């Protein structure tokens, strides 16, 4: 299982850095295939996201991809939301969590497919609104074991006027706040397999570095196309798992 978790960590890290996702959209369904339960998979996913998002935030800060003094308000709201979401894991059934996860992926896929990778409106800068958006997304993040960027990216592109690549980077920055908050809460609730999570977390760091390097070298139009295909794959994988049981 160590080899499988290590390979999964590298793959998830690469996809995380490239697509600006926390990694839960990939790791949760694949951990289910490896035999972990949905709640344990969420805990392992969160541990990997803590390590990956910290590394990504450091790299994007060095590259000056965004102004941290503005986007940090997304994170402040996300901390509170993620705690609430993580608490909901304790009371909601596994079936409800799985169908919630599938619904979120479907929404994201629809919004990304309809969005324009080049902004058609002025970028909205509003710190209180950032906090509200972060709080709402944080609830889904803690509840579903995803960092939140799966919702953050299409919202920033479709409604807030963010360029697609910047939105992806901000989404991964947001993951840093929600993943730490949710991870601590899930540890307290006893839903984290620390051994498996550590293996995935460490191996994902190499993938994060490569994924961000690749992101900075692909054209934005091609980037959107690849992003949509990626979400179609995740949606199909999760749907098959739910239907097949």
> Minimum mean pLDDT among 88-97, 169-178, 191-200, 205-214: which range?
88-97
> Minimum mean pLDDT among 7-11, 78-82, 115-119, 160-164: which range?
115-119
What is the residue range of 35's domain?
2-244
Task: Give the chain's domain count.
Answer: 1
Give the model's pLDDT for residue 146. Answer: 65
Give the model's pLDDT for residue 242. Answer: 67
pLDDT band at 245 (very low <50, low <70, confident <90, very high): low
Q: What average pLDDT does this structure show over 73-97? A: 83
Over residues 180-233, the pLDDT tens digits come to 888 888 888 888 899 999 999 999 999 999 999 998 898 888 888 888 887 787
Give the model's pLDDT for residue 194. Answer: 92
pLDDT band at 132 (very low <50, low <70, confident <90, very high): very high
Please state the length of the chain. 245
More reliable by pLDDT, 107 or 208: 208
Give the model's pLDDT for residue 203. Answer: 94
> Minimum mean pLDDT among 6-15, 66-75, 147-156: which range?
147-156
Give the model's pLDDT for residue 48. Answer: 92
pTM value > 0.85: no
Check pLDDT > 90 for residue 63.
no
Please state, for a pLDDT cut of 70, what percent of the chain lies above it: 95
């Amino acid at each position: 299982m160590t080899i499988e978790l290590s390979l999964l960590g590298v793959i998830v890290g690469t996809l995380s850095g490239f697509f600006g996702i926390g990694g839960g959209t990939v790791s949760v369904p694949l951990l289910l295939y490896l035999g972990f339960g949905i709640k344990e998979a969420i805990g392992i996913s969160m541990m990997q996201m803590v390590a990956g998002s910290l590394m990504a935030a450091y790299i994007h800060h060095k590259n000056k991809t965004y102004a941290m003094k503005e986007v940090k308000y997304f994170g402040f709201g996300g901390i509170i939301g993620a705690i609430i979401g993580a608490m909901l894991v304790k009371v909601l059934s596994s079936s409800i969590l799985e169908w919630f996860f599938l619904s979120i992926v479907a929404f994201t896929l629809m919004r990304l497919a309809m969005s324009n990778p080049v902004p058609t409106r002025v970028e909205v800068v509003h710190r209180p609104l950032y906090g509200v958006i972060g709080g709402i997304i944080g609830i889904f993040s803690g509840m579903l074991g995803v960092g939140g960027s799966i919702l953050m990216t299409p919202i920033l592109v479709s409604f807030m006027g963010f360029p697609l690549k910047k939105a992806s980077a901000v989404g991964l920055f947001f993951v840093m706040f929600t993943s730490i908050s949710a991870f601590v809460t899930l540890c307290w609730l006893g839903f984290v397999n620390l051994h498996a999570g550590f293996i995935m977390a460490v191996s994902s760091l190499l993938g994060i570095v490569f994924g961000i390097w690749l992101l900075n070298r692909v054209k934005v139009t091609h980037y959107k196309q690849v992003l949509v295909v990626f979400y179609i794959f995740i949606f199909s994988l999760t749907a098959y798992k739910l239907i097949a049981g």
